[in-house]
Amino acid sequence: MTPLGWGGIAAAVAVPVFAIGTVVMGAAGAQEGALLAAGATNGGVCVPDARLAPPGPSAGRTAGLSGGQVARAAYAAGWRGADLVIAVAVAKAESDWNPTARNENTNGSTDLGLFQVNTVHAAILATGDPMDPTDNARMAYQVWTDAGGRWGPWVTYWRGTYKEFLADAQAAVGNVASVAASTVGCSATLVTAGGLSDPGPGPQAANGYTPRGENVRALTRARWGCSSGRARPCVSTIGGYAKRMIAGTSTSSDHASGNAADIMLGRGYGTAASQALGAQIAEFWMTNAQATGVKYVIFSKRIWYAGRDPVRPFSQWRPYCHPGAGCNGGDTLMHVDHVHVSVKG
Ligand SMILES: [Zn+2]
């Protein structure tokens, strides 16, 4: 990674906790046949597929990481598709898949760990252990997200050095991607948060929101709000109280009862990074629905309904069609520009 041109440092943000930190994996693919066939839900609790488990905190310290371990760390961090392959190749070019790699730069900064995250990103580095490959991948993903979902911060990317390792990376990612595609339960990136509680049903406050509606707004703002100091993409505003019917219908909306929040992604909502943030927020409220009284979540033409749908990755949610506007409305009615969360009244 290079510090050049990347002085913008994100303020510390709430750190997602991966639900599968305790699963221990052997060499890539070695145990695949013996493990869970797929992620599943168990009484509403997400049981991720162990084959997608990222490496533990001290993995690879003596012999380096396998491609499969790097692929799982990158997958857990959030990369998908072509970017997942690029991530694994960039990590090879940056650190030779050595999680404890450390390189001093001539300008006094230091590159740390698997993805050689530069010390200019002090706030991000402070959120974990840079020499833990799974932590390091998560930090690198944050840097990538803050850069708009682009690889510019990595010198081995823009110099093209990573291309030499694309074949190795593709092979490593192949196994992870095929497991992920067959997983019907939940993804390895689902976040759970300790300490969330359900304030229970209650009357609307002066601002129109019920206690549960307000709880969703406050927690979302604290984690992802631009106002909490998070760099873009971030949540611009969280509204949602309005005395109105569902657009184009005569059905009273959850917005009229204060039981819904509209989590706006703001300008640039259509970028890959913004859409990834929306999916992360949507998955967060799904994963924590039971703990917080969430009834359903809508985002970017997909819907998840508590009690009806299993906990599963956003990409596997049901298609959403608006009750008034159908399946091809604008970006607001189709919820492309915001995450809608309804809570139980
Ligand atoms: Zn809404």
Distance (Å, whole) CA 338 – CA 345: 21
pLDDT at 40 over 50: no
**Arithmetic mean of pLDDT, 255-282:** 91
Residue 32 confidence (pLDDT) above 50 = no
Domain coordinates in residue numbering, the chain? 20-181, 211-343
Question: How far is Cα 109 from Cα 3, in angstroms, rounded to an integer?
Answer: 7
Q: Between the CA of residue 193 and those of 47, 196, 236, what are the distances in Å?
A: 15, 6, 22
In this predicted structure, the answer to whether residue 183 has a pLDDT above a threshold of 90 is: no
Say how many Å lie between the CA of residue 142 and the centre of ligand 1: 27
Q: Which residue has the higher pLDDT, 4 or 328?
A: 328
Distance 240 CA to ligand 1 centre (A): 6
| C-alpha 336 to ligand 1 mean position (Å) | 11
- CA of 307 relative to ligand 1 center, distance in Å: 20
Structure tokens at 157: 């990317």
Whether the pTM exceeds 0.95: the reply is no
Q: How far is the CA of 235 from the centre of ligand 1 (A)?
A: 15
Assess whether pLDDT exceeds 90 at residue 311. Answer: no
Please state, rounded to an integer, the average pLDDT across all residues of the chain.
80
DSSP-derived secondary structure letter, 109: -
Name the amino acid, one letter, at 302: R
Tell me if residue 93 falls in helix, strand or coil.
helix
CA of 245 to the centre of ligand 1 (A): 11
Q: What is the whole-number distance in angstroms between the Cα of residue 188 and the centre of ligand 1? A: 27
State residue 255's pLDDT score: 85
Give the whole-angstrom CA distance, residue 173 versus residue 122.
29
How far is the centre of ligand 1, averaged over its atoms, from the C-alpha of 138 (Å)?
30
pLDDT interval class at 230 (50, 70, 90): confident
User: Which pLDDT belongs to residue 22?
Assistant: 24
pLDDT of 62: 92
DSSP E strand stretches across the chain: 17-18, 40-42, 45-47, 102-104, 110-112, 117-118, 191-192, 237-239, 260-264, 294-299, 302-305, 318-319, 338-343
**According to the model, what pLDDT value does residue 13 have?**
27
Name residue 32's amino acid: E
> Which pair of structure tokens corresponds to residue 172?
């490593």
Q: How many angstroms separate the CA atoms of 122 and 11, rounded?
A: 9
Whether the pLDDT of residue 50 is over 90: the answer is no
- pLDDT top residue among 119 and 184: 119
pLDDT of residue 14: 28
* pLDDT of amino acid 211: 92
- Residue 213 contacts residue 259 (beta carbons within 8 Å): yes
Rounded Cα–Cα distance for residues 95 and 127 (Å): 21
The more confident residue out of 168 and 251 is 168
| Cα–ligand 1 centroid distance for 341 (angstroms) | 7
According to the model, what pLDDT value does residue 222 have? 84
**Which pLDDT tens digit goes with each residue over 276-294?**
889 989 988 988 888 899 9
According to the model, what pLDDT value does residue 21 have? 25
- Report the pLDDT value the prediction gives residue 152, as an integer from 0 to 100: 94
**What is the CATH class of 20-181?**
mainly alpha
Q: 297 alpha carbon to ligand 1 midpoint, in Å?
A: 9
Give the pLDDT confidence score for residue 95 in this predicted structure: 98
What pLDDT, on the 0 to 100 scale, is given for residue 154? 97
